[in-house]
Amino acid sequence: MIGSFNVAAGDGETGARAGELVTAHGVVRTPAFMPVGTAASVKGLAPWELERLAPEMVLANTYHLLLRPGVQLVEGLGGLHRFMGWSGPILTDSGGFQVFSLAERRTYDDDGVTFRSHIDGSELRLTPERCVEAQRRLGVDVAMALDVCPALPAGRGDLERAVATTSRWASRCRAALPSGGETLLFGIVQGGLDLDLRRRSAEELGAIGFDGYALGGFSVGEPPEAMWDSVARAAPLLPGHRPRYLMGVGTPRDILHAVAAGCDLFDCVIPTRNARNGLLHTSRGPVVLRNARWKSSAEPPDPACDCPTCRRCSLAYLRHLYLAREAAVVVLATVHNLHFYLSLMRRVRWAIMTGRFAGLRAEVEATGSAEG
């Protein structure tokens, strides 16, 4: 049944769990990392390359798709799945974080947010109702409720207003997208690093009733240790019978901390952005392609990796492509980095299923492969 979430196994020493979320375009096995395809494309990858990597779900962004090419065009061409050539599950962010980042271009009020496009400066209006309607028309599997994402550090008053507005908007989002359809709706819990506000937000959203719950407003300026501690305390506040999504986080170490706290879904631009900047994630730690030490190296980027890049390319070759600014290096590095992240998540899931999560976590951190 679409929207059902089953926890198949839990780790005896931590809050880590392995589950399955049923969507209209397939079952999402968790814990899962979602490659970011902001504008209906994972940067550096053709659809068939993304398909070979086999992520459980990919993420696109409502804000960017509203601006370009427009929801009406995507809908007219058969929906987002057909438009981007991806047949698996898709989650769309509401655009709340992107609007938050446009501090100079937006104005909040009780009804919604008015902002100016970063593309052409035109004025647009985003309300909770328009936000979920756009995601429904895109035909996505999981839509996110519109929220207010404050920057950290933030004062108590700013955090309280963000929580209150997010809850009001969440109720309107739920009313605009009733349960029972093919598009699931997740609510977003806010509250910064304040546990009492996180609890209030979780309780208010839980009373509304969503298909899943997200922790938003992390990795927006706070130290990593503070984020890990806050996530560890906030994740158990979310309903245990629904998927828990930690938004926009992060490094492999961040993800391992969050899995241990009981989070199920993750997304971040780190693996694809790092690929474009010549940084590879490997089982031995980060590899920076511009470093002269790789100039004559016949080794693959990661001898322990079986991705197409590591099977065919030496570090010397990848370094040459990067310094020569050849476009192929972006593809090769992106394939490798996403393979690294997705393989890590499969190992994490298997470790939870077999009672070995703590051991895997210690092994990954000891080798340095948890570094971002």
Which residues are catalytically annotated?
Answer: 93, 267
The arrangement of strands across the sheet holding 5-10 comes to: 5-10, 17-23, 26-30
Residue 254 contacts residue 271 (beta carbons within 8 Å): no
Polymer length of the chain: 372
Backbone angles phi, psi at 361, to 5 degrees: -60, -45
Residue 174 contacts residue 133 (beta carbons within 8 Å): no
Backbone angles phi, psi at 143, to 5 degrees: -105, 150
Structure tokens at 233: 């305390």
Whether the CA torsion 125, 105, 197, 267 is positive or negative: it is positive
Count CA atoms closer than 13 A to 134's CA, side-chain side.
28
Which residue in 83, 99, 159 sits closest to 131, CA to CA? 99
Residue 261 contacts residue 235 (beta carbons within 8 Å): yes
Instruction: Please give the span between the terminal C-alpha atoms of the chain, in angstroms, as a whole number.
Output: 37
The arrangement of strands across the sheet holding 265-267 comes to: 32-34, 265-267, 244-246, 212-215, 184-189, 142-144, 90-93, 58-61
Output the CA–CA distances (angstroms, integers) from residue 253 to 67, 71, 163, 224, in the order listed: 34, 36, 28, 10
Backbone angles phi, psi at 267, to 5 degrees: -150, 155
